[in-house]
Amino acid sequence: MKQHRSTGGLVYSTDSGRMCPACRQPVAQCVCHLKKPVPAGDGIVRVSRQTKGRGGKAVTVVTGVALDAAALTELGKKLKAACGSGGTVKDGVIEVQGDHCDKVVAALQAQGWTVKRAGG
């Protein structure tokens, strides 16, 4: 375990990863004020295809979903399963590997979201 010298608190544990300095819980289980608030968007979910910085490989990017982190992760799992592909959820953005814009738009509309295609 690594100790942070200035505050004397645990910042990383080999068992649970990064620790919150305020509540001393793993970041995934943090219950203090350091949690990021749910972004207040315009109510429109935007789906786009990106290749920039990924070696030319396409990634379907979903932004503007106003959900908390746990619900966003669950939605990401459903979208990845619908596309039969991998991906990630980070910083309020869902990324699905491959060009699956049409499948993602259809899946989100079936769940009642207002969806727009963004980009080209």
Whether this model's pTM surpasses 0.75: no
> What torsion do the CA atoms of 85, 89, 92, 98 make, to the nearest 10 degrees?
-30
User: Can you give the residue ranges of every domain in the chain?
Assistant: 1-35, 44-117
CATH of domain 44-117: 3.30.780.10
Amino acid, res. 120: G
Ranges under pLDDT 50 in the chain: 3-7, 34-35
* Residue 29 pLDDT: 73
* Residue 36 pLDDT: 55
* Residue 82 pLDDT: 92
